[in-house]
Structures are given as structure tokens and as C-alpha cells.
């Protein structure tokens, strides 16, 4: 399979797995669970805390680009370490085929932390948003490259209507425009191209100026050392999303605090 078909292949798998879950758990059941759950936590406020760049810390076992990363036998414990280390948000990969995640991981994390929790997956259907809220997450990822503009607008609105904060992922200036037009309040700029999987660390700097000041700007992909965080802070990032650097570290809490300190702004 060519690198250019990576996103299409992931989406094919997501849709196949979604069909199975829809047969197993009716939409009405998800809506009932969402209605009785705890109120969502304000992720925008968490990511705009004063003092410097905030961190979204990710529970991530594998990726299409890097392959297996970590076993993570206790995702709840790892998430608790992240929260204790200063993470503003904990992100949980739930895509099964390429990222080896699950909704069970999401449940385990939600049970252990009081910070906002992001479900990171490839959302292509309203069912997945109801599913996300039923599992008590506070944010849902929406990837612009995976959605038509009408679907993006519809999913952003539905997410907000049911209490979720949509985190909208972009990789180009056109996608930034689409995200802003859809009403995104949180935009994450991916340095890794979703089609080729190549990382270009200049992507955030190129796109940050096109993101309005009232939108939270987040950088992700290829962030490994304090200098990466400091560079993104200088380019205007409000937050960074850290995954591989944390899950491959023998001391993820220490690694997180070290990277977090690199994004602090002088008072």
C-alpha cells in the first residue's frame, strides 16, 4: 500500500468497526448513557491557563508511522501520572487497527483523572460523538482531511450541542479556513501529513497566523525535546499534544514536566 493511501485505509477500517459497534449498541442506548453522565469539563479554559504552553498528554500504544510504541497495561495509571505531572488534558487513542486503542482505554482513563479527556479517533459519524459522550469524554477529535465540509460543520455543531468540545485537526491553510468556517474553537496543527506520514516541523509556524486569536492553537507531531516545545511556544502555540515522547519514556511524568517547563512564559 502506498503512503498516500494511509488515511483512506484507516477510514475504511474505522467504518467497518463502526458498523459492528452500531449493531451491538443502539444509538438510543448511547444517548441515554450520555444523559446520565457527569457534566463535561471545560477544555478551553484548561488549555488557556496562564503561565505558558499547556500539554495534552496522550495514551498511545502504536501509530501507522512508528508501529508499536508501548504496551501500556494500565492506561488509567499512565493518565494519572500525566495529570500529576501537569497535563491540562489527557488524550486517549481509541482506534483499534492502527493505534491499538479501545473504548475500554477511554473508560479506564476517565475513571482515574479529573482533567478533561479527549477521545482521539477518526470520527465520521454522529454515532461516534454520542459514543464519545456516553463514555464520559469531554472532547472529540475531528480531522478535516477525513471529512467533507458539510460533514465537518454538522459534526462540530452536534459535538457542541451534546456537551463535547471538538478539537479540529488541520494540516494546510485551506484546512485552517475550513475549520474556522465550521466554528472550531480548538485547532490542532498536525506536522505529520496524514497521507504521506512525513513530518514538517515548519507547518505550525506557517499556519498559526491564519488561526484567529480567539481560537486555541495547538501543535502536534514530532515533539521530542524541550527545544521543540520552546519553538512552538515562540511561534504562538497555546498548547502542544505529546504522545510518542511520553509513552516511550521510562519516566513519563518527569518527561512531561521537563517538556512543560520549556513552554513556560516569563511573568
**Domain positions in the chain:** 5-36+51-263
pTM of the model: 0.95
pLDDT at residue number 221: 86
> Which parts of the chain register pLDDT below 70?
1-4, 265-267
pLDDT, position 266: 55
pLDDT per position as a tens digit, 136-172? 999 999 999 999 999 999 999 999 999 999 999 999 9
Q: What is the C-alpha separation between 104 and 101, in angstroms, rounded?
A: 8
Please report, for residues 40, 61, 101, 193, the alpha-carbon distance to residue 199 in angstroms, rounded to integers and kept in the order given. 33, 19, 22, 6
Under 8 Å CB-to-CB from 99, ≥6 apart: which residues? 60, 61, 62, 63, 64, 93
Domain formed by 5-36+51-263, architecture: Alpha-Beta Barrel (3.20)
pLDDT at 265: 64
Amino acid at each position: 500500500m502506498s503512503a498516500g493511501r494511509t488515511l483512506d485505509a484507516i477510514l475504511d477500517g474505522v467504518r467497518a468497526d463502526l458498523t459492528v459497534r452500531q449493531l451491538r449498541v443502539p444509538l438510543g442506548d448511547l444517548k441515554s448513557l450520555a444523559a446520565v453522565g457527569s457534566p463535561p469539563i471545560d477544555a478551553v479554559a484548561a488549555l488557556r491557563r496562564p503561565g505558558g504552553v499547556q500539554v495534552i498528554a496522550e495514551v498511545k500504544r502504536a501509530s501507522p508511522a512508528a508501529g508499536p510504541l508501548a504496551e501500556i497495561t494500565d492506561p488509567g495509571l499512565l493518565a494519572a501520572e500525566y495529570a500529576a505531572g501537569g497535563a491540562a488534558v489527557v488524550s486517549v487513542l481509541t482506534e483499534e487497527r492502527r493505534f491499538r486503542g479501545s473504548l475500554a482505554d477511554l473508560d479506564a482513563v476517565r475513571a482515574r483523572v479529573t482533567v478533561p479527556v479527549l477521545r482521539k479517533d477518526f470520527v465520521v459519524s454522529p454515532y461516534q460523538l454520542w459514543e464519545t459522550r456516553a463514555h464520559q469524554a469531554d472532547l472529540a477529535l475531528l480531522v478535516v482531511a477525513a471529512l467533507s465540509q458539510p460533514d465537518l460543520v454538522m459534526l462540530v455543531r452536534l459535538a457542541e450541542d451534546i456537551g463535547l468540545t471538538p478539537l479540529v485537526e488541520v494540516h494546510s491553510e485551506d484546512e485552517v479556513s475550513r475549520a474556522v468556517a465550521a466554528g472550531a474553537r480548538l485547532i490542532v496543527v498536525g506536522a505529520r501529513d496524514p497521507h504521506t506520514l512525513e513530518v514538517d516541523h515548519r507547518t505550525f509556524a506557517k499556519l498559526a497566523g491564519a488561526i484567529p486569536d480567539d481560537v486555541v492553537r495547538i501543535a502536534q507531531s514530532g515533539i521530542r525535546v524541550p527545544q521543540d516545545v520552546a519553538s512552538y511556544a515562540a511561534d504562538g502555540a497555546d498548547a502542544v499534544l505529546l504522545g510518542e515522547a511520553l509513552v516511550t519514556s521510562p519516566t513519563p511524568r518527569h518527561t512531561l514536566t521537563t517538556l512543560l517547563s520549556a513552554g513556560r512564559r516569563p511573568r
